[in-house]
Structure 1
Amino acid sequence: MTAAAYDAVAVRYAEFVRGAWDDHPLERAVWTAFADSVRGRGPVADLGCGPGHLTAHLRSLGLEAFGVDLSPAMIELARAAEPSVRFEVGSMAALDLPDASLAGILSWYSVIHTPPVDVPRYFAEFARTLASGGHVLLGCFESRGGPLTSFDHKVTTAYCWPLDELAGFAAAAGFTEVGRMYREPGAGERPMRHGSLLLRKP
């Protein structure tokens, strides 16, 4: 369902996200901190990569990054935009990757459409594919400490998470929290706070 929904809007979505974070230095700083944590340690997967704009940004930061997305249309756009970069169709819940093969995982607004009952499977897969000492950077809409809520996203149903709840799932999967960041919405954005978690596999 999510893949088909993004297939249908792939071109418009790619246009929307091009430069979408140019005015958000806090998020660029978080990506840089993530890159500094994993650079030179091995491959980095951008999971839910969409049209590949952040995959390309990670590579500009010196990472051996590649992208994975459920949407075949998004992967076609990513390959066209960045022909030298590896992009694959796949699910974050069942990655076609060996155990302990990654130095890092970027999951930037990639779990927002996932029904809450399924989220632990994603963290389990992150833990399986990350090497010891590897890092995950996760971004999401944040519920300001209130309860988990769903909302009508432009593409398909999405969720606004308490970071504490996501951090709890991460801890249950064996991750240690390194840090978190909150950002208020900017002009023209949905009136929702944004959050990110940087996690480490011991």
Structure 2
Amino acid sequence: MGDHAGHDAVRRSYDAVAEEYAARLHDELAGKPLDRALLGRLLEEREDGAAIADLGCGPGHVAAWLAGHGVLTVGIDLSAGMLSAGRRRYPEVEFRAGDLLALPAGDGEFGAAVALYSIIHLDPRDLPRAFGEARRVLRPSGLFLLSFHIGEEVRHLDEWWGHDVDIDFRFLDPSPVAGLLEEAGFTVTMRRARAPYPHEADTRRGYLLARRT
């Protein structure tokens, strides 16, 4: 998303698949025990009463899972289609239109944040800016959980579930990503990798948990 055209292509692509994405993935956490465990850690360790941000929330099913545990949750996404799908399904979540590079949130607004498979659409050159924005909106010692596909390839889709799209999925090496988090003012406290679950695409999944310093 270093260039505006790429940014718009991501938005249009997710708008195109928003309804089908929401219908297919609304209960995906039921089959992802590691994700649930890590989200549970955010719930336990965040500052009492602090809201959690879901950065690149899509149709909001992860934000809704968090909200279901009694937490004020804010979902932020680039795609108006995704936000519309989320608002209809999850009125308990506050949705905001926004960008990982310029988050629509105040300094220190959140006690924790998640970015699950959303940084994979950024130009790698934009990761420092995205991580700086995440740090800005977190309270001191706030936790930041990221997940992504592990590797070095870029997978491009022109068609997704029968819809015309124009979108890249960038696989990432966890070590450089962890280094960029450290440079942005985080301490990386956990690195995990796992094989795909049977119902997922055949990619290894990486997780980083970082604490704002």
TM-score class, shorter: over 0.9
Measure the CA separation in 2 of the matches of 1:84 and 1:100: 22
Runs of at least 4 residues off by over 6 Å: none
Measure the CA separation in 1 of the matches of 2:51 and 2:31: 28
Which of residues 79, 83, 97 is equivalent to 1:75? 83
Measure the CA separation in 2 of the matches of 1:85 and 1:25: 22
Q: What displacement does 1:149 show? A: 2.1
Which of residues 127, 151, 175 is equivalent to 2:186? 175
1:4 aligns with 2:12: yes
Secondary structure of 1:100 counterpart: coil
Query: Which runs of no fewer than 5 residues in structure 2 stay unpaired?
Result: 1-8
Measure the CA separation in 1 of the matches of 2:124 and 2:31: 30
| 2:63 corresponds to | 55
Measure the CA separation in 2 of the matches of 1:44 and 1:83: 16
Q: What displacement does 1:17 show? A: 1.1
Which of residues 81, 84, 98 is equivalent to 1:90? 98
Measure the CA separation in 1 of the matches of 2:109 and 2:188: 21
After TM superposition, the score normalised by the length of structure 2 is 0.88
Secondary structure of 1:151 counterpart: strand
Contact 1:34/1:198 (CA < 8 Å) preserved in 2? no
| 2:136 corresponds to | 128
Measure the CA separation in 2 of the matches of 1:68 and 1:26: 23
Which of residues 45, 48, 57 is equivalent to 1:40? 48
Q: What displacement does 1:41 show? A: 4.6
Measure the CA separation in 1 of the matches of 2:31 and 2:92: 27
Measure the CA separation in 2 of the matches of 1:41 and 1:81: 24
Query: Which runs of no fewer than 5 residues in structure 1 stay unpaired?
Result: none
Which of residues 143, 147, 154 is equivalent to 1:150? 154
Q: What displacement does 1:81 show? A: 0.5
Which of residues 12, 20, 24 is equivalent to 2:32? 24
Q: What displacement does 1:128 show? A: 1.2
Contact 1:183/1:195 (CA < 8 Å) preserved in 2? yes
Q: Which moved more, 1:98-107 or 1:47-56?
A: 98-107
| 1:161 corresponds to | 172
Contact 2:42/2:143 (CA < 8 Å) preserved in 1? yes
1:192 aligns with 2:192: no
Measure the CA separation in 2 of the matches of 1:20 and 1:69: 19
Q: Which moved more, 1:174-183 or 1:153-162?
A: 153-162
CA RMSD in angstroms comes to 1.4
Q: What displacement does 1:129 show? A: 1.2
Query: Residues 53-93 of structure 1, C-alpha deviation per residue, up to 9 Å, x if partnerless?
Result: 00010112332211110000110111101123211111111
Aligned length: 198
Contact 1:32/1:61 (CA < 8 Å) preserved in 2? no
- The 1:62–1:179 alpha-carbon spacing in structure 2 relative to 1, beyond 3 Å, is farther
Measure the CA separation in 2 of the matches of 1:83 and 1:49: 14
Identity %: 34
Measure the CA separation in 2 of the matches of 1:69 and 1:184: 27
- The 1:121–1:36 alpha-carbon spacing in structure 2 relative to 1, beyond 3 Å, is same
| 1:66 corresponds to | 74
